[in-house]
């Protein structure tokens, strides 16, 4: 019978400080912000045009800029691979904090 591993994080509140620690490099965070902004623009254009290629553009911008930040500046692996939902939530919380000047890193 396989062993069931307990989830590493009890909640998003437990996850988010670890997520932030994986984004200590300012350039990495800024690349996340640019990629997320471009992804939002792509989603707006998708809604206006109903052209599904804009969804691909949103994914490419969002993940492309973030992964570039991790590979080139943070020198770590994105948490997306181990914690996809919490990582996506963390991206948008970090984005909002940067947008509203709550970026205290």
The per-residue pLDDT for range 28-80, each reduced to its tens digit, is 999 999 999 999 999 999 999 999 999 999 999 999 999 999 999 999 999 99
Query: Residue 6 above 60 pLDDT?
Result: no
The model's pTM = 0.87
Cα–Cα distance measured from residue 92 to residue 90, given in angstroms and rounded to the nearest whole number? 5
> Given this model, what pLDDT does residue 104 score?
67
pLDDT at 86 over 90: yes
Residue 7: inside a domain, yes or no?
no
How far CA 41 is from CA of 23, 38, 86, 94, in Å, comes to 23, 5, 23, 18
If one counts the domains in the chain, the total is 1
> Do the domain assignments include residue 104?
no
Residue 35 belongs to what domain range? 12-99
In this structure, is residue 21 part of a structural domain? Answer: yes
User: CA gyration radius for the chain?
Assistant: 15
Q: Is residue 80 part of a domain?
A: yes
Q: For residue 2, what pLDDT is reported?
A: 44
- Is the residue at 53 inside a domain? yes
pLDDT given at position 76 = 95
């Amino acid at each position: 019978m396989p062993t069931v591993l307990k989830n590493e994080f009890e909640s998003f509140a437990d996850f988010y400080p670890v997520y932030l620690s994986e984004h200590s490099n300012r350039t990495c965070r800024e690349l996340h912000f640019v990629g997320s902004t471009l992804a939002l623009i792509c989603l707006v254009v998708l809604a206006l045009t109903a052209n599904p290629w804009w969804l691909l553009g949103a994914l490419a911008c969002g993940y492309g800029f973030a992964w570039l930040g991790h590979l080139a500046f943070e020198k770590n692996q994105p948490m997306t691979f181990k914690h996809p939902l919490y990582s996506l939530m963390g991206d948008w919380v970090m984005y909002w904090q940067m947008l509203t000047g709550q970026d205290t890193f």
